[in-house]
Every structure is written in structure tokens, then in C-alpha cells.
């Protein structure tokens, strides 16, 4: 792996109610998800649309029989234009705001939200 490549190549967010989670993420981030129909592992998966030639990672919502949503595990940060907007959308669509928009100095701003499934999700923006 190249040392100039970003370290994350894929992420999975565990859900218990796929339809509810899909609606939440599409509403908050204004991005489409599509069901992965040819999943050889056999569990329900909805993938975030993305472009592998761009920087950053794409990933999926996963309904896995051995995984449960949690706000205590790894924190994934979604890039936003203004993280306060997505935080408010999260609240409007059944989520929570754990940490409102907060400055992180020259690195921009973050907010931490709770999704519809009980996961904590980070938001990052430069303004």
C-alpha cells in the first residue's frame, strides 16, 4: 500500500432495521444508497454511492446476524460542507446530537450524532 493513500478503504455501519437506517442516511447526507443484490456473504447490505477514483472511502449499511449497532465502537466521520446542517438533519430524522458543531482549530469543525440504529457517527467540515 502506498503511504500517500488514505488509510481507510471501506467501512460498514451495523443496523437492525435496514429500511429505517437507509431512510435516515439518505435524508441526513442527501446521498443515495443501493442494495447489493449479489452479496456472496448472504446478509442484507446497502452501499453508499461513491467513486473509487476519488479520495476517501465508501462503505455500506450492514444487517449482520452477529453484529449489533453501538455508540461505543469505532467512530466514522462523514465529510460535510457544514456539519451543523447534517447534525440538524439527523435530529429531524430520528437521530440525536451528542456533540454539536465544535471547532477543532485549523482542522475545521466536528459534530457527533447518533443515528437511527444507535450508532455514534462523526461529522467533519472545514466551515
**Predicted pLDDT at 74:** 87
Computed from CA positions of residues 4, 124, 53, 115, in that sequence, does the dihedral angle turn out positive or negative?
positive
Computed from CA positions of residues 116, 122, 126, 127, in that sequence, does the dihedral angle turn out positive or negative?
positive
**Predicted pLDDT at 5:** 64
Which domains, from first to last, does the chain contain?
10-125 (3.10.180.10)
* pLDDT tens, the chain, 127 aa long: 445 667 777 899 999 999 999 999 999 999 999 998 877 778 899 999 887 778 788 899 999 988 899 998 889 999 999 999 999 999 999 999 999 999 999 999 999 999 999 999 999 999 9
pTM for the model: 0.86
**Predicted pLDDT at 10:** 85
- The total of other beta-carbon atoms located within 10 Å of residue 125's CB is 19
Q: Is the separation of the CB atoms in 33 and 63 below 8 Å?
A: no
Amino acid at each position: 500500500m502506498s503511504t500517500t493513500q488514505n488509510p481507510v478503504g471501506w467501512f460498514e455501519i451495523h443496523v437492525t432495521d435496514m429500511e429505517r437506517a437507509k431512510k435516515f442516511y439518505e435524508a441526513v447526507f442527501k446521498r443515495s444508497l443501493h442494495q447489493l443484490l449479489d452479496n456472496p456473504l448472504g446478509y442484507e447490505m446497502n452501499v453508499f454511492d461513491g467513486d473509487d477514483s476519488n479520495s476517501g472511502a465508501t462503505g455500506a449499511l450492514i444487517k449482520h446476524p452477529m453484529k449489533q449497532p453501538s455508540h461505543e465502537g469505532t467512530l466514522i466521520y462523514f465529510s460535510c460542507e457544514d456539519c451543523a446542517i447534517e447534525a440538524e438533519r439527523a435530529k429531524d430524522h430520528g437521530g440525536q446530537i451528542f456533540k454539536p458543531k465544535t471547532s477543532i482549530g485549523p482542522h475545521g469543525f466536528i459534530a457527533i450524532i447518533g443515528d437511527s440504529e444507535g450508532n455514534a457517527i462523526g461529522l467533519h467540515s472545514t466551515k
